[in-house]
Amino acid sequence: MTEKTSLQTTVCVVGGGPAGLVLGYLLARMGVEVTVLEKHADFLRDFRGDTVHGSTLELLRDCGIKQRFDALPQQHLQEMCINFGGESLKLGDFQGVKPFDYICLIAQWDFLNFMASEAKALPSFRLIMQCEATDIISESEQVKGVLATTPEGALEIRADLVVACDGRSSTIRKVLKLPVTNLGAPMDVLWFRLPRKETDPSGLEGRLGAGHMMVMINRGDYWQIAYLVPKGSDAQLRTQPITDFQQQVVALVPYLQERSALIRSWDEVKTLVVTVDRLQRWHVPGALLIGDAAHAMSPIGGVGINMAIQDAVAAANVIGRALQARHILDETTLTEVQNKREAGVKRMQSLQVIAQNRVISAVLRAKGKEPSVPLVLRWLARFRWFRNIPARIIGYGFGREHVDTTLFKAK
């Protein structure tokens, strides 16, 4: 049997997703000794959100790494359309939105690999892959670190602070038994890909039909497609022949007629269970939770990654400042992170829940009748200032955080 080994660090970040890697990178830029644990061997997981919004582009610019990021394969999205039963309406427009008038569509593994390689160049950063946190170390009602498994055996990581960035199924959240407010969601999402032709529309388009809804994201030579189904209906749907599903896709997007046959089996269609929830308290003595671990976001607006990164920026500023000024990380510090981020998260989730209840539920329940464009939307969509509002909210969120680069150590 292999022996348990242990290591000591200042901040132990559990989870190498967008929140965890950005937090690790920023703390390392501030000279904080940080160890990030990621349970997988690589970042090559498909069907995660693939968007980087304006607030994150600003962060990359402020850190001086945007030029290198820009060299990665990506597409830029400048408008969002919704197609009601065949009639398309532009409802989001980034033209004129500052400082970045686009959303960047980039494979999430490219973004995570990029952040990991930038962070690895910093002396106080350590990333341990295939390292899964399974429990916390608790002494005198204070979290003192985590226990983890690795291919080499058990690992004990002792830390001044544990930051859980381990996503919506967070182990740390479960172990700490933190109370959760569940906001519910009427839908789950089926994800799949189909080839894209040059003659297809560009950009991002939502398609609404009677009882069906689909969002298509232009990824260059393919469409990444999210097909919304009523919550819990996935198992029943999968008992039908795949040809029935192909027909439902074509009913919404007729130009996919020939390509729909490329969805050969249900194995090519992944189900993502949608959860919208948030913790009432994001911290306990010695531990902080951010990103989806603190508040799972609905896929509406594709804002989850950027909300998680905004949490990471707020946490890095507060932790970096506390360590440089007072050399301690107490409950006041952790409360400050929640106070900075909670109001923005609540506002965004409220908008998502309104969209879920007023639009998505209604469309998924509708039988037979194609939805038509509400008159008020048709009128509002004529004005760019109106189309800029959803673009600004999606691109920059509420109460955006700027990294405090005065805390950065000289390289």
Closest contact distance (angstroms) between CB of 263 and ligand FAD is: 17
Could you tell me which residues come within 8 angstroms of residue 268 by beta carbon, excluding any fewer than 6 positions away? 192, 193
Long-range pairs for 60-64: beta carbons < 8 A, 24 or more residues apart: 61/99, 62/402, 62/403, 62/405, 63/25, 63/26, 63/29, 63/403, 63/405
For 194, the 3-state DSSP assignment is strand
8 Å CB contact between 348 and 398: yes
Number of residues engaging ligand FAD in binding (CB under 6 A): 35
Task: Quote the least distance from Cβ 145 to ligand FAD, whole Å.
Answer: 13
Q: Which stretch binds ligand FAD (CB under 6 A): 46-54, 197-205, 360-368, 391-399?
A: 46-54
State yes or no: residue 39 binds ligand FAD (CB under 6 A): yes
Q: Is 272 in the site for ligand FAD (CB under 6 A)?
A: yes
Binding mask 171-200 for ligand FAD (x = CB under 6 A): x-----------------x-----------
Picking from 256, 312, 328, the residue whose alpha carbon sits closest to that of residue 63 is 312
Alpha carbon distance 228, 80 (integer Å): 18
For residue 74, state whether it binds ligand FAD (rule: CB under 6 A): no
If the CB atoms of residues 155 and 274 are measured against ligand FAD, the closer one turns out to be 274
- For residue 33, the tally of other CB atoms under 10 A from its CB is 18
Start-to-end C-alpha separation, the chain: 42
The closest alpha carbon to 401, from 29, 31, 20, 62, belongs to 62
Contact call for residue 305 and ligand FAD (CB under 6 A): yes
Asked whether position 334 contacts ligand FAD by CB under 6 A, the answer is: no
Does position 292 interact with ligand FAD (CB under 6 A)? The reply is: yes
- Of 49, 92, 203, 286, the one binding ligand FAD (CB under 6 A) is 49
- The single-letter DSSP state of residue 190 is E
Distance CA 28, CA 34 (A): 6
Contact 323, 409 (CB under 8 A): no
The alpha carbon dihedral of 275, 279, 282, 287 has a sign of: negative
Closest approach of ligand FAD to the CB of residue 230, in Å: 15
For ligand FAD, which is the closer residue by CB, 48 or 212?
48
Q: Does 17 bind ligand FAD (CB under 6 A)?
A: yes
Which of 272, 32, 41, 60 is CA-nearest to residue 168?
A: 272
CB of 38 to ligand FAD, least distance (A): 5
Nearer to ligand FAD, 237 or 373 (CB): 237
Q: Is 122 in the site for ligand FAD (CB under 6 A)?
A: no
* Stretch of 174-182, 237-245, 298-306, 316-324 contacting ligand FAD, by CB under 6 A: 298-306
Is 58 among the residues that bind ligand FAD (CB under 6 A)?
Answer: no
**308 touching ligand FAD, by CB under 6 A:** yes
Binding status of residue 38 toward ligand FAD by CB under 6 A: yes
Considering the complex, what minimum distance in angstroms separates the CB of residue 384 from ligand FAD? Answer: 24
Q: Which of residues 139-168 bind ligand FAD (CB under 6 A)?
A: 165-167
- Residue closer to ligand FAD by CB (options 20, 31) is 20
Give the sign of the dihedral formed by CA 352, CA 230, CA 103, CA 282. positive
Burial call 314-330: b when 16+ CB within 10 Å, e when fewer: bbbbbbbbbbeeeeebe
Confirm or reject binding of residue 51 to ligand FAD (CB under 6 A).
yes
Nearer to ligand FAD, 204 or 373 (CB): 204
Residue 352 within binding range of ligand FAD, rule CB under 6 A: no
CA distance to 44, 88, 96, 198, 214, per residue, from 201 (Å): 28, 11, 22, 8, 15
Q: Which of 206, 211, 286, 304 binds ligand FAD (CB under 6 A)?
A: 304
Which H or E element spans position 18?
helix 18-29
Residue of the chain from 306, 317, 349, 352 that contacts ligand FAD (CB under 6 A)? 306
Name the minimum Å distance from CB 342 to ligand FAD.
15
When asked if residue 92 is in the footprint of ligand FAD (CB under 6 A), the reply is no
Kindly state the tokens that stand for 253.
Answer: 């997007």
Binding site for ligand FAD (CB under 6 A): 14-20, 37-40, 48-51, 132-133, 165-167, 171, 189, 272, 274, 291-293, 297, 299, 302-306, 308
